[in-house]
Amino acid sequence: LPLPCSAGSLCLALLLPVVAGLEFSYHHSEQLETFLKEVHQQHPSITALRSIGRSVAGRDLWVLVVGRFPTQHTIGIPEFKYIANMHGDETVGRELLLHLIDFLVTNDQSDPVVTRLINSTRIHIMPSMNPDGFEATTVHDCYYSEGRFNKNGEDLNRNFPDVFNSNNVTIQPETQAVINWIQNETFVLSANLHGGALVASYTFDNGNPATGFLQGYSRSRDDDVFIHLARTYSSNHASMYKGNECGNKPVFPYGITNGYAWYQLKGGMQDYNYIWGQCFEITLELSCCKYPPASQLQAFWNDNKAALIEYIKQVHLGVKGQVLDRHGQPIPNVIVEAKGREHICPYRTNRHGEYYLLLLPGSYVLNATAPGSGSILKTLLVPNSPENFSALKYDFVFPEVSTLARDASCPIKPLYQDFESISAAVKPTLHFLALMTVLYTVFK
């Protein structure tokens, strides 16, 4: 019989080691594919399996979707994703996601938390973005191997368009498949799983004066939300929150870091998600050793499983809803954002007229702007919605709507470069103000 537990907290089943089911070993491409197909065959009502593309060597990039409505998007159900193994020699995340799949499908209808997650969320899981690199890693090294790169020798986490600098690289098949996937879904929250450290890293990875990188920290408009997301994972992990578990790495307070504050990275996946995918993504470094022995995998699962589940719940932060006309028909391409949190590439409604805004509890003024039809402002008090497995719902209704442009997407170019000249113009003023502050303090 299932153990009793409350629907709003993690069950005891989540805290106990798995004693049966998927083995704790490294699964190569054929084994991984076999496992995913078996899961789908055994749980067809809550899973969907598809390849979103192929690697350079022709290996499928498999994604298993778990949800009550797994085959297609359902209005009001947010889309979530985990991606692992984009560096082929960083292997722990690959196995953790296989065990997460196993945990979700075997605990549906018995564990209330898992059941409510599956009822309220469409969860996409990609165990390996770089299967060629994984298969090429023959020496299990803690620090580095050629398997980091894809078969063309490219680093996939330097291969995305960059919002700060021109990224003159050839987009790889694996990268293009993920870009297409992001553009075809309405992803709200995501994490990509890496290895080589133990920390949760968040946007921005790159920067310029417009995001404050002169102070060694590249800040987004949603910095508070990103800090919350990173701390959600680190605080639910067995030891990440300590911040100093890898002796050869910096100390990370609370086990989190701004990406740029750690090291600058151009062409990263998490920045691309935030700017062009309307999806908040963080990077999870989950093991001090990139490719640890298989004997340690069960310990890694026990350390991470509560955090993996709790992080998915955060897709229900904030506000969601639709923008409709007076006849109740959805309006696509409407800009919906919270005042003071406008994105350089405005967040717009999808073809169903839906919007999703990740916001911490508090009072916000939402602004819905339909080009040619004006704006509607609404003040909302946002609760702590993840505990209820649903963001606050609010629909905007426009009485009159003009014809909207079909393609309202932002150009794929370094959008923040336009702000550098502005920042340079105000820089002398900022220096003067800083000097006056110092002088005032000294004389006082």
Q: What is the pTM of this model?
A: 0.90
Question: Given this model, what pLDDT does residue 386 score?
Answer: 96
Q: What is the pLDDT of residues 127-162, one digit of tens each?
A: 999 999 999 998 888 988 889 999 999 999 999 999
Question: Given this model, what pLDDT does residue 214 score?
Answer: 84
pLDDT at 320 over 60: yes
pLDDT at 265 over 70: yes
pLDDT at 308 over 80: yes
Q: Which amino acid is at 199?
A: V
Cα Dmax for the chain: 75
In the predicted model, what is the mean pLDDT of residues 228-256? 94
Lowest mean per-residue pLDDT among 201-210, 323-332, 422-431:
422-431
In the predicted model, what is the mean pLDDT of residues 297-316? 98
Q: Which amino acid is at 337?
A: E
Cα distance between residue 181 and residue 8, in whole Å: 32
Helix (H) or strand (E) holding 320: strand 319-325
Q: Which two tokens stand for residue 106?
A: 């075997």
What share of the chain has pLDDT > 70, as a percent?
88
Lowest mean per-residue pLDDT among 188-192, 311-315, 426-430:
426-430
Question: Given this model, what pLDDT does residue 140 score?
Answer: 86
Question: Given this model, what pLDDT does residue 419 score?
Answer: 63
Query: Greater confidence, 436 or 70?
Result: 70
- Confidence band, pLDDT 50/70/90 cuts, at residue 48: very high
In the predicted model, what is the mean pLDDT of residues 367-387? 94
Q: In this structure, how many other beta carbons lie within 10 angstroms of the beta carbon of residue 305?
A: 24
Question: Given this model, what pLDDT does residue 420 score?
Answer: 54
Query: Which residues have a Cβ under 8 Å from the Cβ of 429 and sit 6 or more positions away?
Result: none
Compute the mean pLDDT over every residue in the chain, rounded to the nearest whole number. Answer: 90
pLDDT at 432 over 70: no
In the predicted model, what is the mean pLDDT of residues 44-71? 98
Question: Given this model, what pLDDT does residue 439 score?
Answer: 40
pLDDT at 34 over 50: yes
Q: What is the DSSP string of 277-298?
A: S--EEEEEEEESSSS--GGGHH
Q: Which amino acid is at 197?
A: A
In the predicted model, what is the mean pLDDT of residues 347-374? 96
Residue 285 annotated to the active site: yes
Question: Given this model, what pLDDT does residue 247 score?
Answer: 85
Question: Given this model, what pLDDT does residue 408 score?
Answer: 67
Q: What is the pLDDT of residues 176-226, one digit of tens each?
A: 999 999 999 999 999 999 999 999 999 999 999 999 988 899 999 999 999
Query: Greater confidence, 50 or 429?
Result: 50
Question: Given this model, what pLDDT does residue 437 score?
Answer: 38
Number of alpha carbons in the 13 Å side-chain half-sphere of residue 297: 22
> Could you tell me the domains of the chain?
29-316 (3.40.630.10), 319-397 (2.60.40.1120)
Question: Given this model, what pLDDT does residue 299 score?
Answer: 98
Query: Greater confidence, 400 or 415?
Result: 415
Pairing mode, if any, of strands 374-382 and 362-370? antiparallel
Q: For residue 150, is it left (φ>0), alpha (ψ between -120 and 50) or beta?
A: beta
In the predicted model, what is the mean pLDDT of residues 223-250? 95
Catalytic position from the list 154, 185, 285, 337: 285
In contact, 29 and 91? CB cutoff 8 Å: no
In the predicted model, what is the mean pLDDT of residues 73-96? 98
Q: What is the pLDDT of residues 10-25, one digit of tens each?
A: 554 444 433 347 999 9
